[in-house]
Amino acid sequence: MSEHLDVVIVGAGLSGIGAAHHLQTALPDRTYLVLEARETIGGTWDLFRYPGVRSDSDMHTLGYRFRPWTDAKAIADGPAILDYVRATATEAGIDRRIRFGHKVVDASWDSGTARWTLTVEHAAATVTMTCSYLYVCGGYYHYDRGYTPEFDGIEDFGGRVVHPQHWPDDLDHAGRRVVVIGSGATAVTLVPALARDAAHVTMLQRSPTYILSAPTVDAVATRLRALLGPRRAYAVTRWKNVLISTLIYQLSQRRPAMMRKFIREQTIKQLPEGYEVDVHFNPAYGPWDQRLCLVPDADLFRAIGDGSASVVTDRIDRFTERGLRLASGAEIEADIVVTATGLRLLALGGIRLAVDGREVPLPETMAYKGMMLGGVPNFAFTIGYTNASWTLKADLVAEYVCRLLRHMDAHSYDYCVPVPDPAIDARPLLDFQAGYVLRSLDRFPKAGSRAPWRLGMNYAQDVLTLRHGRIDDGTLRFARATRHRAGSDVLAEPGGH
């Protein structure tokens, strides 16, 4: 006797909780469960626990469209975001639909019965269940381990080496000399947070990153809340911030020299007079070719200004017993080295897909609207924007999935599948030059050279396409099951085990 759901959502992080909320609000009669491999709600915001962990997007866009962010801080810390996600799940009763410690490892589709059969690892055993629609919201980070390059002599180092993804609870950095290797979002978050208590923190970067300061508190949002109330103010602030971030991105792509000059001028204002800005904050690439880092209230620049932190731009020759020797011959002494050197990506949480008995090789598939796979029926996944808040796209994907399911109900269809056009050229799914993306792109689905196979990175355009565009657009093929389904299926009740 197998358990059957209308929808299975994989992942109880920011995307999964949002997807569940949209689903039960739009289609309250649908049975669903959220399967979460870990033992708690929160995903990335529970996994990352390094000092100072926070959003690198404002919370008016990282927050859900349906649940206003009302805290005064627009740039929020990790614990506050985690509380927000968990409160969303609890208030909507979603927490009762989550099964923790359930890792989906295989998903096999059968067109005859129009069902997925899921193989799920739980408590050292394997269980199976079926569902009509599979919705993967596990993000794209490899949760088991981060990325650390091979460093010569690391075994000689007499101090401690840690990766931010696995921050030890017992690590005391107070009064210690700390070197943070890296210059991305994690590094620029860690450095000022560690600098409050450490003897000194050095950000050791191979090459610079574009960094902009933003106020922790959005004064316009605060004023709008007083005038319009929290819900209306949230909607207005959300669109304000979308438009500002879109403008910055578009100018960076179309007028890179102008934006480079603007960012450089802002950086000079934040740093001590005479600081070597062109050595440490002048990237070789164009603005937004990689993600632009946001620092709240110039905290990184202030730490540099008061001497509690410094930046060194050089390459590592090797670790030594007392620290790091650089390619220039200089040495940095350290008690703790933090390898903020990046993340590993994992497509679809490592789930193996098969359709009608044939394995689906992900790198050979093409993503439809950046959220479904060509040739894979009744399946959706969430990948957020690289140039804006993840949740903006996650909300739109969830809305689209609900519209799609409603359309199938209205026409008595059992399943739908995007049919690829062989004339469309393949492109990388993520057109983004960050190292963590480039290292893993060959294991991800492809995008196409034109819509609807091209992954959009424009929220306003996606609002029109995903929220209001036609469902039956000529690319989706709809069908009905051809075989009788077994009568022994058991519908899952709310709640888990």
What confidence tens digit (pLDDT) does each residue in 121-152 have?
999 899 999 999 999 999 887 877 778 888 99
206 shares a domain with 132: no
Weakest mean pLDDT among 24-28, 95-99, 423-427, 488-492: 488-492
Average pLDDT score over residue span 180-206 = 96
d(CA 355, CA 361): 11
What's the total number of domains in the chain? 2
What pLDDT sits at residue 490?
36
Please report the pLDDT score of residue 494 as a whole number.
36
Q: Are residues 184 and 266 in the same domain?
A: yes
Residue 162 in this model has a pLDDT that exceeds 70:
yes
pLDDT per residue as tens digits for the range 385-416: 888 899 999 999 999 999 999 999 999 999 99
Please indicate, yes or no, whether residues 412 and 302 belong to a single structural domain of this protein. no
Residues 103 and 195 occupy one common structural domain: no
Q: What is the CATH number of the domain that holds 273?
A: 3.50.50.60
HEC readout, 311-341? EEECCEEEECCCEEEECCCCEEECCEEEECC
| pLDDT at res. 397 | 97
Q: Which pLDDT score is estimated for 149?
A: 85
Q: Which residues make Cβ contacts (< 8 Å) with residue 49, sequence separation at least 6?
A: 78, 167
Mean model confidence pLDDT for the chain: 91
Q: Check residues 56 and 378 and name the one with the higher pLDDT.
A: 378
pLDDT of residue 497: 31
DSSP letter (8 states) at residue 463: I
36 lies in the same domain as 79:
yes
Mean pLDDT for the stretch of residues 282-294: 87
Range in 60-64, 221-225, 382-386 the model is least confident about: 382-386
| 389/18 Cα distance (integer angstroms) | 14
Asked, for residue 364, whether it belongs to a domain, the answer is yes
Work out the pLDDT band at 91, boundaries 50, 70, 90. very high
The answer to whether residues 197 and 335 belong to one domain is: yes
pTM of the model: 0.92
Kindly tell me if the per-residue pLDDT of 488 is higher than 90.
no
- Cα 54 to Cα 141, 171, 301, 367, 471: the distances in Å are 17, 19, 17, 30, 37
Assess if residue 149 is contained within a domain.
no
Q: Are residues 433 and 320 in the same domain?
A: no
- With respect to residue 266, please indicate whether it lies within any of the assigned structural domains: yes
Give the per-residue pLDDT at 344: 82
Residue 271's pLDDT band (cuts 50, 70, 90): very high
pLDDT band at residue 433 under the 50/70/90 scheme: low
Does 477 have pLDDT greater than 60? yes
- Which of 289, 312, 341 finishes a domain? 341
pLDDT tens, position by position, 296-339: 999 999 999 999 999 999 999 999 999 999 999 999 999 999 99
- On whether residue 167 sits in a domain, the answer given is yes
Please check whether residue 456 lies inside any domain of the structure: yes
Q: Is it the case that residue 495 has pLDDT exceeding 80?
A: no
Q: CA end-to-end span of the chain, whole Å?
A: 17
* pLDDT category of residue 16 using cuts at 50, 70 and 90: very high
Residues 82 and 76: their CA atoms lie apart, in Å, by: 10
Q: Which of 275-284, 375-384, 435-444 has the lowest mean pLDDT?
A: 435-444
164 plus 272 within the same structural domain: yes
* Any domain includes 301: yes
Residues 111 and 202 in one domain: no
Q: Are residue 327 and residue 348 in the same domain, yes or no?
A: no
The residue among 432, 245, 11 whose CA lies nearest residue 237 is 245
The DSSP line for 267-321 is HHHHS-TT--HHHHS--SSPTTSSPPEEEETTHHHHHHHTTSEEEEE--EEEE-S
Q: Residues 332, 363: one domain?
A: no
Residue 229 lies in a domain: no
Q: Would you say 3 and 129 are in contact if contact means Cβ atoms under 8 Å apart?
A: yes
Which structural domain, as residue segments, surrounds residue 260? 157-222+255-341
- Residue 176 in any domain: the answer is yes
In sequence order, what are the residues at sequence separation of 6 or more whose Cβ sits closer than 8 angstroms to the Cβ of residue 491?
3, 4, 5, 31
* pLDDT tens, residue by residue, 356-366: 999 999 999 99
**pLDDT at 131 (0 to 100):** 98
Q: Are residues 203 and 66 in the same domain?
A: no
Q: Residue 438: pLDDT band by 50, 70, 90 thresholds?
A: low
